[in-house]
Structure 1
Amino acid sequence: MRFVLAVYLMVFHTIHAYPQAGDLPLIWLTDLGGFSTSSFFILSGFILTHVYIERGAGLRGSTRDFLVKRLSEIYPIHFIGLLLFVLVLALSTRSFHSFFLPSLGREDRQIVQLGTGPAVLNWLLNISMLQVWYARYSSINPPSWSLSCLLFFYFCFPVLAPRLATMRHRAIALIAVWLLYLVPPVTVVLIGAYGSTAVGTVEHNPILRIPEFMSGILLYSLYSSGRLKWMLGTRWRKAVAAGFVLVSFALASYLTATGPLFFLYVVHNGALMPAELTLVVLCADAVVPRCAHRTVSRLGNAALSIFGIHGALFAVAIKALKLTAIHESIWRCASHFSACAASVKGLDPSMATYPLYLVLTVIVAVLFQERCFVPIRSAIRRALLKHDTRPAHRPWIANV
């Protein structure tokens, strides 16, 4: 599931860079990036509760060990992804002082030029993964806002998870969390706040997004206690649940592309939570064939790497594709890069190689995960953890 969500988000962030994409049938099905991110946040709470919360609702291991493991999971990916974007910026005509403004996605993204002081501050916020707390500008590496939210969620988990897992009325609490999550988007719709700061706050602020993470914690508690058998008891019930997810996704995609503007707020923040919760439960209950365990595990483990590096890889790929369209030698463009970059700025890239980009990005992400990220993460943990405190392996976790 993690892998599929990451690939869908990659398509959401990249396919509309091709003007020809608008002519593709059912292209509106690629407009629901918020579904992928929200499902990922729910899934994170679900998996962490499975791994780190004991039957008696205590945290398995110390809070320090938990935070070291979690932070070593996201900071290396964030730093490497941001470094790739810095290299892309250095080779492009875009200034290090220019930043995108958050938008709901219907209009072209606006760029602003900042003075040296504000630009340095924004870069420092992005480097430290705190940019989501200052909502005026989008993240330099666009997908990294979700990593910034995860950072906040991880700090909250040792406090929230044991309490949520021991609540007596968890189903009611889950409904209450969902309704609470809907309050901010409904509020900004009622007051007509569609400016960039409002969009950035509602869509990216960790405090406003943490209900998704909390719902994942509550969902696992319900799932592990057998309270969701009414949904999973038979194949027909699972089929109905899967149909609910598919219909919700298709309807929300269509309304996001063609419906009123206010719907984008509500869909992105909360309207699809029942479908997202259902999807997580269905995937958790699925059985992966033994012969596919290793492949599924490798792809799932690479999901965060796909999140972190696909934007920079696409920027490189799209520039290389445009450079090939002007029929200049690679040596001339290497020595006159600025001139070549300026000459291809207005060109429309061809979609012929887009499937190749998707496949190569997945391959690069898997290799990056296994050959680069895992050794860095292991070195950090060896340095900061006194002994191996990894929870016991639970094979079914690979299912999601």
Structure 2
Amino acid sequence: MNLLDPLYLILASILIIGYWLVPRIWRLWYLSIGSGLILSFFSWISAIMLVIISILTLIALRFPANRLIHGLWGIIILILIFIAYRALPSNNIIILIGLAFYLLKAIHFLMENYKGHLGKISTDMLFAYLMFFPSLLIGPIHRYKEFQSDWQRQTFDKSIISLALERLIWGYAKLVILADYLFNRKIMNFITTIEADYPRLAEYLLSLQYGFHLYFSFSGATDIAIALALMLGFRLNENFNNPFLSTNIAEFWRRWHISLSDWCRSYIYQPVASLTRNHQLAIVATMIGIGLWHELSFRYLLWGGYHALGLVVYYKFTNSFGQTIENYYKDRVIMLWIIKIISVLITFNFVILGFEITRSQDIIQNYQRLIFGG
């Protein structure tokens, strides 16, 4: 499924128009079936897997006598499906579109049901939530209660459609102009021309290019998802909030891939912290989880560990010196601005240098080029 494929927008438009034309009583089933059909146009096996995951989630909900056991059993099945797929020799053999996103939604659903936070659950609402097509490809990972609230109060509003169209155009501008044309073509061409004469600079610029290309690609796709969802009367959460302007690494993870960070905070960090009473261990477990969610590989395991180390060091430094520095310079506005700028630069470069781990398979060679220039 390619967001730049005209077929995607054509099918999305048909679904959105039809959604507002059918009687409200059928809209959730219409949304579920339509989402599955759109997915099947691009990958029929992905559509089948999405239906299977939705049915497994529904089955796990139908055993209220012991919600913990059945909920955990459902979660284990979902995780095993994810691991088995990611462990395939080549993901080009079987491409399961959106698996990483709707699995997390299904696990969220089972966990919140076990906690008793969901109340009465209807089958059509469950399927519409899990199979919601705007967020299938690249998120955001929205929460069920928010989805349900939007459904209960939604009405057709022309002004909302206008705002959604503006967001849609902005999303495609990010994808086409910034991500593809500027960073994937122009910046890459410039790096190629200086690579032989300035290898260290070229390597650093490659990390910059990689990071900004990722950001504009993912945030552009998120804008498109938010816009299409808004046209259906649902509000998806923001997924990026100028992450490269963060003053520290903790703030970065509150601004970068926000829905994934929130999910991991709820279902990895909080349980681990509660069980172990160890804040640092919970951070490590969370960042390792985020890394392996992206890819089951050593480089993403290392990348998760890299960010975990950064977070642990940041919290230790803040606990020891943060308040002292803030109090010392609280009346010196210029110094506070200088510290803020330095903090942004340090955080930015920490993140950018971390991309050297995931940018290619040859991690050691990447850093050798960056440090030694050859």
**Fold-level similarity (TM above 0.5):** no
Asked which structure has the greater RCO (Cα within 8 Å, sep 6+), the reply is 1
Tell me the TM-score normalised to structure 2 length.
0.29
Higher helix fraction (1 or 2): 2
Tell me the TM-score normalised to structure 1 length.
0.27
